[in-house]
Structure 1
Amino acid sequence: MTTKIEQSVKNKTIAMIIPCYNEELTVARVITDTKKYLPEANIYVIDNNSTDNTAKIAKENGAEIIFEPRPGKGFAVQRAMERLDYDVYGMVDGDDTYSLETIKDLVRPVMDGHYDMIIGSRLAIFENDSFRQFHVLGNRLVRGLINRLFRCKLTDIMSGYRIYNKEIAKKLPVVSKGFEVETEMTISLLSYGFRLKEIDICYKSRMKGSFSKLNTFKDGFKVLWTIFNLFKNNRPLTFFGTLALGFFFFSLIFGMVVVVDYFDDLFVEHVPLAILSTSLFLCGLLFFLVGVTLHSIVEKHNQVMCVLKKI
């Protein structure tokens, strides 16, 4: 008797995308596990200009190779979305740190149409030494910022293990160049109202001799900058409104000095403070108006996205 997931897979096509840069030690294992636990998937290794035998080993193990010469995981993901046309897409790193044993549990909700994306959350089940200390702190910082700014309760914003549908692959804009691509995808999904869910998976330690390509501080800064830009672009009224309140507050503080000075002797002695207070008020008003205008534009854009989702 076939299971529900097996019946769904018969009617829908699925691609497994494996972005790789110099993963010759681990890519074969990732491909083998994909074939074992999700044999229905067509496997694509996105070779991000590797200098080792990653592409050769991947091809020998039955994966199709897509070359992306521009360095950066974001470019690799963009290339895959442009080139491939499937009903469902899986994405997992080529470093063999994500266990694929339960991959069908992640595929099922997307196949059945209940969710647009499933994220494999690493923070509940993981092996010793699977995380670097600064990576854990960075993940907590990013998670806290996004949960507060976008009013959600996600646990693993930066997971590279995801299952998503064709609608996301073809309609979700991805412009990030590097490891910040997962953060961008998550925020965009939240902003456009896509259905998102996390499922706990096992996160494994790296194989001996395999090294992370993630630079803690450089890539961490890029992730924070991505959050800043996406928050500004998707929540302009909150962003510019907060700036406006700050300018109004300092305008009031300096203005009170001028007003008190005036009522004391009906003469303004602190002219520079009066000019500063007025300038701050005008800047605050400008930021508020910019926020209102951009908010209207974003609302219209979101309405268009909702219409496109139904097409």
Structure 2
Amino acid sequence: METLHAQSGPPAGSGPSPIVLDVVIPVHNEQHVLAASVHAVRALLLEQFPYPFRITVADSGSTDGTLPIARRLAAELREVRVLVVSRKGRGLALKDAWLSSDALVLAYTDVDLSTDLSALFPLVAPLMSGHSDLAIGSRLARGANVVRGVKREFNSRAYNFILQRSLGVRFTDAQCGFKAIRQDVAQQLLPLVEDETWFFDTELLVLAERARLRIHEVPVDWYDDPDSRVRLASTARDDLLGVWRMRRTRRPLEAHLSVLRATLGRGGIDESPVVAEVPSLAG
């Protein structure tokens, strides 16, 4: 993976205390909203988070003014750093940002802030306490409040139904752009994740569940962004191809996952999720 790192402001982890939380904002051509989003995340953390934190803007191949804006923010705000990935890929940007971070807890939020930031602390608290290994925002869990169109609501529910039927997963929402992971877990789990685009989230969670890691779900308030850059047709195609790949590679990955279970101490009861046998994803 070829990446180019550019960091502004003070060196990562400088100061008397270690960075506790690193919130990554992956971006690609987001000049219209980046500054407002970074300031909103920073204001919330300064007001309510009592530990050292960092905000990492992970730019993946932007061709507009996104990168200059990110660098200006990093020069002005000591909590902000910029990481530049040499090619486009949301999953690639997240993977590189998380693997290069020295923070104890790693999180990310989409730049449009569709997920209400009030859920950030319920998201990271179980990771800081050591109770859970990963945490995800869920728009489909009981207690969530979601405002979006019928088409996107149907697509989301259909995709998660496919995951439950074909891969036997137990989590409720794979695609919400609001997740967190402990750094020690990320260092061992992320090298197993192959996807560099939108399927990254799903693959991460499926592997975590197969490794019997503890996934904490937080019901969120979520508001559909009318200016979303997600292309539903191509994303759906790539997601289905990713699901098919994960069905076929389960056995070869088992040796790696067994090591992960032993290392992270989540062995639990020796059981595997029941996977429904279906002839094809088209069905």
Bin the TM-score by the shorter chain.
Answer: 0.7 to 0.9
Give the Cα–Cα distance (whole angstroms) in 1 for the partners of residues 146 and 70 of structure 2. Answer: 26
Does residue 1:126 correspond to 2:168, yes or no?
no
Give the Cα–Cα distance (whole angstroms) in 2 for the partners of residues 101 and 28 of structure 1. Answer: 19
How many residues in Structure 1 have an aligned counterpart in Structure 2? 234
8 Å CA contact retained: 2:126, 2:216: no
Q: CA offsets per residue over residues 166-187 of structure 1, 9 Å max, x none?
A: 1232111221121111111111
What's 1:51 paired with?
63
What's 2:182 paired with?
165
How far does residue 91 in structure 1 lie from its aligned partner after superposition?
0.7
Q: Tell me the TM-score normalised to structure 1 length.
A: 0.69
User: Which residue, out of 142, 145, 167, partners 2:162?
Assistant: 145
For the pair shown, the structure with the greater C-alpha radius of gyration is 1
Give the Cα–Cα distance (whole angstroms) in 2 for the partners of residues 19 and 188 of structure 1. Answer: 22
How far does residue 197 in structure 1 lie from its aligned partner after superposition?
1.8
Within a 5 Å distance, the mapping from 1:106-255 to structure 2 comes to: 106-123=123-140, 124-127=144-147, 131-172=148-189, 173-206=192-225, 211-234=227-250
Give the 3-state SS of the residue equivalent to 2:99 in structure 1: helix
Does residue 1:88 correspond to 2:88, yes or no?
no
Quote the sequence identity (%): 24
8 Å CA contact retained: 2:213, 2:261: no
Q: CA offsets per residue over residues 58-78 of structure 1, 9 Å max, x none?
A: 333332111112111111112
Kindly indicate which of the two structures has a greater share of residues assigned to helix.
1
Q: Tell me the TM-score normalised to structure 2 length.
A: 0.75
Structure 1: which 5+ runs fail to align?
1-9, 235-293
Give the Cα–Cα distance (whole angstroms) in 2 for the partners of residues 83 and 199 of structure 1. Answer: 26
How far does residue 44 in structure 1 lie from its aligned partner after superposition?
0.4
Q: 1:176 to 1:78 in 2, by over 3 A?
A: same
Aligned Cα root-mean-square deviation (Å): 2.1
Within a 5 Å distance, the mapping from 1:268-283 to structure 2 comes to: none
Q: With CA pairs under 8 Å and 6+ residues apart, which has the higher RCO, 1 or 2? A: 2
How far does residue 132 in structure 1 lie from its aligned partner after superposition?
4.7
8 Å CA contact retained: 1:74, 1:174: no
What's 1:305 paired with?
260
Q: CA offsets per residue over residues 229-256 of structure 1, 9 Å max, x none?
A: 112222xxxxxxxxxxxxxxxxxxxxxx
Structure 2: which 5+ runs fail to align?
1-16, 47-51, 266-283
